[in-house]
């Protein structure tokens, strides 16, 4: 009898397991699952009835009660974990305890992610040991919490060089954002950059950036060191439509142009062309002027309409310059708080630059914001020939001096019209093929054009102060570090060693 009852229990357990297997393999055959589980229930009840006295005696033991209590505690704990994970999976919540609230997304980013209507793929080319990798990962993890339309992949360009070549990656810590026919790139791991890129690829239209030619400007087709072909390639990868315009052959600047660029003209610009540029700005256009020192472009009267003056001479800086380089190779580290410069982590290299001045009485209708300044140990050198460079109080202009500025009208535009904006930089070579790959130069150019094209204005995300603040020394500090590390510390170590040796020798 006991052997028969035991067989019933084994059959019941087998039917219960068979029911679970049948449901996992063929969930549509509910009748089979129901029959199997029903029979299992009948057989198991019969097993417990047949062994009732045995179970009663077993449960009366002290060891059984203690074991049963332990089993119930384990089952209760497992049940709590299952319930917590079930709720967490469906109601995900994150808390940001970082020093600077680095992982808290801006409200604009939340709205943008919630409004994504098609899939966006983000491919980050970075090494897992780099600081940028962790920044990208933390940001994109936060992004994916807000939208299931975002697909993220991390690629190590050293381990998977074929993928890096396929995407044309020439700089590590670059993120490629793709959606539909649009592609753009981000080289700075920041929320403003990523959100701006997502906005660009999620739109069906492209912003148009046009470079003026006909006056000896730097050409976007020129692949030599002085050309802008690398800058054009970077803009195309950012999702812009890039072209050229000859103002002498046009009656006006086309209205569909997002940004008009005058990049280092060398020959005079005619009065008619200046009038067309001024009319374009007056109608809400956006203009970028890159003006080198000692040229014949003759843009003084055009700049004067907005209260700007391009100063004479060439900027010289004893402090913020390229280490062991020429005094005119400025390594600018001082930036004003502005949307263009809000995410800067690198210095910008400006070779052979001129300064800018603003006259309030002339440009009363414009707000003038200096973007980049030289150090206090700088000046505008008016005579670079025939003598050793040195500050002359009578002829030179003492720094600090602005060499890049942004201008916007003080009055809001009439409803339905665009708001004009101008960026003037006293240098064009920073954007040339020879220098644009310098990290700070790339960021400055792309940020300036992005702001003018109203890409960054769409989000206006306030930058977060990083908890990690890197130290970038200037030439004076570099020499001081060299003397301390190469001379002072080894000398102190030698003297301390000699003193220790002499003391021990006397013992």
Residue among 124, 144, 146, 119 nearest 135 (CA): 124
The predicted structure's pLDDT at residue 180 = 83
Same domain, 295 and 442: yes
Same domain, 213 and 356: yes
Ranked by mean pLDDT, which of 112-116, 120-124, 325-329, 380-384 comes out on top?
Answer: 120-124
Boundary of a domain, candidates 206, 227, 262: 206
Q: Which tens digits make up the pLDDT trace of 170-180? A: 888 899 999 88
d(CA 119, CA 130) in angstroms, rounded, equals 28
Residue 129 or 214, more confident: 214
* 465 domain residue, yes or no: no
Residue 373, beta-bridge partner list: 334, 402
Q: Which tens digits make up the pLDDT trace of 45-87? A: 777 777 666 666 656 666 656 666 566 566 656 655 665 665 5
Quote the number of domains for the chain.
4
Beta strands in 78-194 (DSSP E): 120-125, 150-155, 174-179, 182-186
Q: Which tens digits make up the pLDDT trace of 421-443? A: 999 999 999 999 999 988 789 88
Residue among 317, 448, 453 nearest 389 (CA): 317
Same domain, 307 and 343: yes
Which residue segment(s) compose the domain that 489 sits in?
A: 474-507
Same domain, 236 and 322: yes
* Residue 447 near residue 341, CB atoms below 8 Å: yes
Same domain, 250 and 396: yes
In 332-437, which ranges are continuous DSSP H helix?
A: none
* Residue 445 near residue 233, CB atoms below 8 Å: no
* 464 domain residue, yes or no: no
Q: Which tens digits make up the pLDDT trace of 336-346? A: 888 888 767 78
Same domain, 243 and 315: yes
* Percent of the chain residues topping a pLDDT of 90: 30
Question: Per the structure block, which two tokens stand in for 174?
Answer: 């670059």
Same domain, 310 and 381: yes
- 3-class DSSP state of 54: helix
* Residue 27 near residue 5, CB atoms below 8 Å: no
In 267-400, which ranges are continuous DSSP H helix?
A: 271-282, 300-304
Cis ω on the peptide bond leading into residue 118 (within 30° of 0)?
no
Q: What is the pTM of this model?
A: 0.62
The predicted structure's pLDDT at residue 45 = 76
* Residue 198 near residue 112, CB atoms below 8 Å: yes
Same domain, 236 and 336: yes
**What is the torsion angle, in degrees rounded to the nearest 10, for the CA atoms of residue 37, residue 43, residue 45 and residue 46?**
170
- 3-class DSSP state of 199: helix
214's torsion region: left (phi>0), alpha (psi -120 to 50) or beta?
left
């Amino acid at each position: 009898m006991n052997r028969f009852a035991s067989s019933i229990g084994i059959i019941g357990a087998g039917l219960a397991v068979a029911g679970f297997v049948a449901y996992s393999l063929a969930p549509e055959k509910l009748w089979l699952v129901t029959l199997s589980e029903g029979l299992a229930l009948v057989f198991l009840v019969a097993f417990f009835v047949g062994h009732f006295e045995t179970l009663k005696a077993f449960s009366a033991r002290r060891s059984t009660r203690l074991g049963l209590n332990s089993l119930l505690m384990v089952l209760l704990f497992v049940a709590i974990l299952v319930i917590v994970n079930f709720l967490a999976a469906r109601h995900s919540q994150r808390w940001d305890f970082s020093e600077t609230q680095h992982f808290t997304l801006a409200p604009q980013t939340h709205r943008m992610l919630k409004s994504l209507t098609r899939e966006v793929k983000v491919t980050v080319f970075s090494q897992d040991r780099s600081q940028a990798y962790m920044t990208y990962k933390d940001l994109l993890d936060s992004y994916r919490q807000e939208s299931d339309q975002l697909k993220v992949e991390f690629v190590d360009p050293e381990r998977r060089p074929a993928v890096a070549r396929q995407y044309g990656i020439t700089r590590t810590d670059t993120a490629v954002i793709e959606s539909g026919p649009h592609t753009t790139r981000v080289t700075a791991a920041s929320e403003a950059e990523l959100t701006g890129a997502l906005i660009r690829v999620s739109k069906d239209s492209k912003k148009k950036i046009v470079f003026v030619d006909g006056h000896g400007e730097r050409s976007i087709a020129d692949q030599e060191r002085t050309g802008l072909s690398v800058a054009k390639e970077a803009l195309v990868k950012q999702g812009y439509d890039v072209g050229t315009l000859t103002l002498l052959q046009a009656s006006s600047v086309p209205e569909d142009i997002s940004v008009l660029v005058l990049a280092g003209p060398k020959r005079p610009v005619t009065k008619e062309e200046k009038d067309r540029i001024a009319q374009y700005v007056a109608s809400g256009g956006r203009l970028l002027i890159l003006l080198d020192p000692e040229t014949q472009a003759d843009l003084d009267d055009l700049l004067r309409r907005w209260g700007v003056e391009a100063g004479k001479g060439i900027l010289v800086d004893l402090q913020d310059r390229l280490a062991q380089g020429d005094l005119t190779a400025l390594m600018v580290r001082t930036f004003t708080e502005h949307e263009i410069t809000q995410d800067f982590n690198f210095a910008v290299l400006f070779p052979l630059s001129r300064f800018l001045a603003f006259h309030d009485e002339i440009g009363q209708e414009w707000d003038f914001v200096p973007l980049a300044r030289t150090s206090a140990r700088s000046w505008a050198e008016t005579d670079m020939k025939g003598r050793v460079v040195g500050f002359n109080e009578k002829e030179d202009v003492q720094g600090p001096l602005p060499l890049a500025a942004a201008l916007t009208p003080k009055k809001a535009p009439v409803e339905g019209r665009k708001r004009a904006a101008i960026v003037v930089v006293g240098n064009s070579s920073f954007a040339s093929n020879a220098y644009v790959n310098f990290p700070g130069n790339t960021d400055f150019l792309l940020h300036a054009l992005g702001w003018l094209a109203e890409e960054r204005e769409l989000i206006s995300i306030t930058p977060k102060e990083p908890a990690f603040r890197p130290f970038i020394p200037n030439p004076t500090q570099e020499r001081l570090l060299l003397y301390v590390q190469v001379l002072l510390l080894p000398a102190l170590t030698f003297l301390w060693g000699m003193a220790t040796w002499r003391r021990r020798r006397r013992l």
